[in-house]
A and B are shown apart, each in its own frame.
Chain A
Amino acid sequence: DVKVTQSSRYLVKRTGEKVFLECVQDMDHENMFWYRQDPGLGLRLIYFSYDVKMKEKGDIPEGYSVSREKKERFSLILESASTNQTSMYLCASGRRGNSYNEQFFGPGTRLTVL
């Protein structure tokens, strides 16, 4: 059974803390993605990676950074958490190419910043 896992389902942090969200996939996918989901806004792409050590900004990268040291692992980092980063964070992975390959999602991490 293919899987994308995320390190935590729920996380509570304080303003100014450094926060790490981890994502691991076991499907040998080249592409990995971080989204945040907010009511009425759908999912918005924060960052993505198409290969080890490669990263590209998505639509809302401000306040975030990412790391991909191994193919199966993609980390999202909030350097200094703020209350407006309270959200649901979803990681996804997918095969390279412009075909019909869908993205596979992890269960999500609901982050609350106090």
Chain B
Amino acid sequence: AQKITQTQPGMFVQEKEAVTLDCTYDTSDPSYGLFWYKQPSSGEMIFLIYQGSYDQQNATEGRYSLNFQKARKSANLVISASQLGDSAMYFCAMREGNLGGTSYGKLTFGQGTILTVHP
């Protein structure tokens, strides 16, 4: 079974509007972390935002926020006021706590969503 699922291969948004990129995950470990990365056409992976499984509040970083719904196992990325420079591939990833052991920081990635921002 897929541990991280991103069901939207591609998304389009108008400049200055908000967009939500979906991510669902599957784990039986109570301790885990969820990450979002951005990959522009140049190829580098840029860390955007992190949410820990025990965090009480949704994470926010500037125009990025994470809509964390633990019971539904979803961790959607919300980008507010989209800009042309937001056009990129976006990956959701999960780090499991390895049930109390050491996970060595391994990440499991989703398939990615290509976001296109129209002027």
Fill in one digit per residue for A70-114: 1 if any B CB lies within 8 Å of its CB, else 0: 000000000000000000101010111110111111111010000
Min Cβ gap B45→A in Å is 4
Min Cβ gap A99→B in Å is 8
Task: Kindly state the separation between the CA atoms of A107 and B41 in the bound complex, as whole angstroms.
Answer: 11
Question: Please, which residues of chain A bring their CB within 8 A of the CB of B43?
Answer: 88, 107-108, 110
Fill in one digit per residue for B94-119: 1 if any A CB lies within 8 Å of its CB, else 0: 01011000111111111110000000
User: Within B1-57, which residues are at the interface with A (CB < 8 Å)?
Assistant: 4, 6, 9, 31, 33, 35, 37, 42-45, 47, 50, 52
Are B105 and A97 in contact (CB-based, < 8 A)?
A: yes
Are A103 and B105 in contact (CB-based, < 8 A)?
A: yes
Q: Is the interface of A mostly helix, strand, loop or mixed?
A: strand
User: Within A13-64, which residues are at the interface with B (CB < 8 Å)?
Assistant: 31, 33, 35, 40-45, 48, 50, 56, 58
Task: Kindly state the separation between the CA atoms of A39 and B21 in the bound complex, as whole angstroms.
Answer: 18
> How many residues does chain B have at the interface if contact means C-beta atoms less than 8 Å apart?
30
Are B104 and A48 in contact (CB-based, < 8 A)?
A: yes
Are A45 and B33 in contact (CB-based, < 8 A)?
A: no
Q: Which residue of A has the minimal Cβ distance to B35?
A: A102
Are B106 and A48 in contact (CB-based, < 8 A)?
A: yes
Interface residues of A, Cβ cutoff 8 Å to B? 31, 33, 35, 40-45, 48, 50, 56, 58, 88, 90, 92, 94-98, 100-108, 110
A-B contact pairs, 21 of them (CB 8 A): A33-B105, A33-B106, A42-B109, A43-B93, A43-B109, A45-B108, A50-B104, A94-B105, A96-B102, A96-B104, A96-B105, A98-B98, A98-B102, A101-B105, A102-B35, A102-B50, A103-B47, A105-B44, A105-B45, A106-B44, A107-B42
